[in-house]
Amino acid sequence: VRKRIVVLGGGTGGTLVANRLRGLFDRDAAEITVIDPDDRHVYQPGLLFVPFGRATPAALARSRSRQFRPGVTFRQAAVDRVDVGRDEVWLADGTPVAYDVLVIATGARLVPEETEGLTGPGWNEKVFTFYTRDGAAALERALSGFTGGRLAVAVLDLPIKCPVAPLEFCFLADSYFRKRGIRDKVELTYVTPLDGAFTKPVASRELGGLLADKGVSLVTEFNTGEVDGAGGRLVSFDGREVGFDLAVVIPLHSGQEYVNRSPGLGDELGFVPADQQTLQAKVKPNVFVIGDAADIPASKAGSVAHFEGEVVARNITRYLAGEPPDASFDGHANCFIESGSGKALLIDFNYDTEPLPGRFPGRAGLPLLRQSRLNHLGKLAFGWLYWHVLLPGREIPAVHSQMPAAGKHLPSAGSRSPSGKGR
Amino acid sequence: MPTITYAGTEVTVNDEGFFADPGQWREEMAPLIARQEGIGELSERHWQVIKFMRHEYAAKGTGPTVRVLGKTSGVSVKELYQLFPKGPAKAAAKIAGIPKPRGCI
């Protein structure tokens, strides 16, 4: 009997897991269907460069359906809800789609309307986000006309996709204004709800130091309650204010709305709770989660979805063979951090090991947590790898699902951060 | 780990004063912890949040974030900050005798 594997979402995680599964199952053993409401796949890491005129929104998007291996069916449709009790997905047009295994890969969604004032006066005029193509394009126009004043970059709350992107924006903005010869006329401020520049201590110190080097002021433990675009103020819930002439905000994130319409599937924010090792959804053993849609203590980043792909695909094959899941995800994430002036840092970490200095993937590799030209070239090369290696579900040579320890300057075992502790 | 005495009972806390074992907490300790957090009198609304924190911890193994509290506790984020000015998630967790909320990356 052909098994029916249904993947919701044709972004990074959905595409690469569908392609991996196609390689693992004969066509008469399993049919693989990916469902997504549109046929536009956006290379999200590229959005960071749009505001600075270094990438165009059009160049970042390709057809979703063309990223699949032959034998993967793409169905362009919106999902109304999942009935996990009956193993059925209900499409928005009222059609049921039955499955043996379901993969949730529908990512995270921006909900700017959840922050008071954010989508009010000044939205996309004085207050922007670069997390969408339209927003990034509007910000590019605003930046090119910006001749000086206060620029605030604000993370409103966590979780967000790519938690390093707002820091990268600050570093690139510093370079950008320098190049235009107006850096001394721009006051740059980074506003975060965290108690430092980043979630993990060693990287937080390093990145905080980099902000200071570039003359970016850091405002911490700022939980933004209101964005007053007309008045040019960010107001925290405890009554503090940061003034701006131009604000770049990372809006709150949620899971997709169909998750909230699917009894038992998601949490309060619409993310899907899953076992952080097996990536099996807590609601039922034949539901798996990959990428930003998951409620697990890992970064919402493409590299995480890539490393999860191997684990999810293997555990699905085991589930369909009547075996318990044995593949285990260690929380591995790997991110290039653009630091401006043609340089970048690289960080590599997992649930147990915070980003540390050293080299990746081994002692002769790229420098970790340190600016270098090589890392910048790595970041640029990654765009090609994304479409040609990562999405097709191939392995990147020497880069594995499990985080490598060789090359890292590991502290003694006792001082590692405990498992599962996020902030 | 350090210990601290509330209402005549010695309890184990971490460096920041969060309970290591929520089982050691009793209701009469809450006003004493609250005072250390700069909250003079615990109102009915404070208690609604404190009880919700304990309920969530028992169900999920971690206290909720401020955003989740605002969505699920019946108290808006704005009011949460009025009740616990230093930061609702942390202060309410401490007063409710549960470990520091994990938050997310």
Active site residues of B: 104
Lookup result for tokens 């002036």: A341
Q: In whole angstroms, give the CA distance from residue A250 to residue A268.
A: 20
Residue A179, pLDDT score: 97
* Residues on chain A touching B99 (C-beta within 8 angstroms): none
Q: What is the pLDDT of residue A418?
A: 43
Chain B residues touching chain A at CB-CB below 8 Å: 64-68, 71-72, 77-78, 80-81, 85-87, 102-105
Instruction: Tell if the CB–CB gap between A199 and B72 is shorter than 8 Å.
Output: no
Alpha-carbon span B2 to B40, nearest angstrom: 25
- Residue A388: phi and psi, rounded to 5, are -105, -15
Residue A378 has pLDDT above 50, yes or no: yes
Handedness of CA A44, A45, A48, A52 (dihedral sign): negative
Query: Which of B71, B78, B102 lies nearest to residue A268, judging by beta carbons?
Result: B71
Nearest residue of B to residue A333, measured between CA atoms: B105
Which chain B residue's Cα is nearest to A271? Answer: B68
Determine how β-strand A272-273 pairs with β-strand A217-219. unpaired
Q: Are A18 and A313 in contact (CB under 8 A)?
A: no
A1 vs A170, more confident: A170
Q: Are A299 and A163 in contact (CB under 8 A)?
A: yes
pTM to 2 decimal places: 0.93
Q: Are residues B38 and B86 in contact, defined by beta-carbon separation less than 8 angstroms? A: yes
Do the chains contact at B71 and A163, CB–CB below 8 Å?
no
Of B68, B78, B102, the CB nearest to A269: B68
Amino acid in the structure at residue B36: Q
Taking only the tens place, the pLDDT of each residue in A111-130 is 999 999 999 999 999 999 99
User: Using the beta-carbon criterion (under 8 Å), do A225 and B77 form an inter-chain contact?
Assistant: yes
Q: Is the Cβ pair B104, A238 closer than 8 Å?
A: no
Q: What percent of chain A has pLDDT over 70?
A: 97
Indicate if the alpha-carbon torsion angle A35, A36, A37, A39 is positive or negative.
negative
- B104 vs A269: CB contact, 8 Å cut-off? no
B78 contacts A225? CB cut-off 8 A: yes
**pLDDT per residue as tens digits for the range B36-59:** 999 999 999 999 999 999 999 998
Tokens of A299: 């970064």
Q: Alpha-carbon distance A282 to B7, whole Å? A: 40
Contact present, A163 and A199 (Cβ < 8 Å): yes
* A238: nearest CB among B68, B81, B103: B81
Burial (CB count <10 Å: 0-12, 13-18, 19+), residue A321: exposed
* Distance (Å) of CA A420 to CA A221, A230, A295, A331: 21, 41, 12, 9
- Gap between the Cα atoms of A76 and A73, Å rounded: 10
pLDDT tens digit at each of 105 positions of chain B: 899 999 999 999 998 899 999 999 999 999 999 999 999 999 999 999 999 999 999 988 888 888 999 999 999 999 999 999 888 988 999 999 999 887 644
Mean pLDDT, residues A52-76 taken together: 97
With H, G, I as helix, E, B as strand and everything else as coil, classify residue B38.
coil
- Residue A422 confidence (pLDDT) above 50: no
**Minimum CA–CA partner of A301 in chain B:** B105
Average pLDDT rounded to a whole number, residues A290-296: 97
- Mutate which of B55, B66, B104 to test chain A, going by most A C-beta atoms within 10 A? B104
The verdict on a CB contact (< 8 Å) between B105 and A297 is yes
- Render pLDDT for A381-393 as a digit per residue (tens, 0 to 9): 999 999 999 999 9
> Residues B96, B30: contact at Cβ < 8 Å?
yes
pLDDT band at A59 (very low <50, low <70, confident <90, very high): very high
Please report residues of B whose CB lies closer than 8 A to that of A297: 102, 104-105
Using CA of residue A8, residue A67, residue A309, residue A305, what is the dihedral sign? negative
Predicted confidence band of residue A421 (pLDDT cuts 50, 70, 90):
very low
* DSSP secondary structure, A131-151, as one string: SSHHHHHHHHHHHHT--SEEE
Enter the DSSP assignment of A222: -
Q: Is the ipTM of this complex over 0.90?
A: no
When CB atoms are compared, the residue of B65, B72, B102 closest to A420 is: B102
Task: Give the minimum alpha-carbon distance from B61 to chain A in angstroms, rounded to a whole number.
Answer: 12
A298: nearest CA in chain B? B105
Q: Test B104 with A423 for CB contact under 8 angstroms.
A: yes
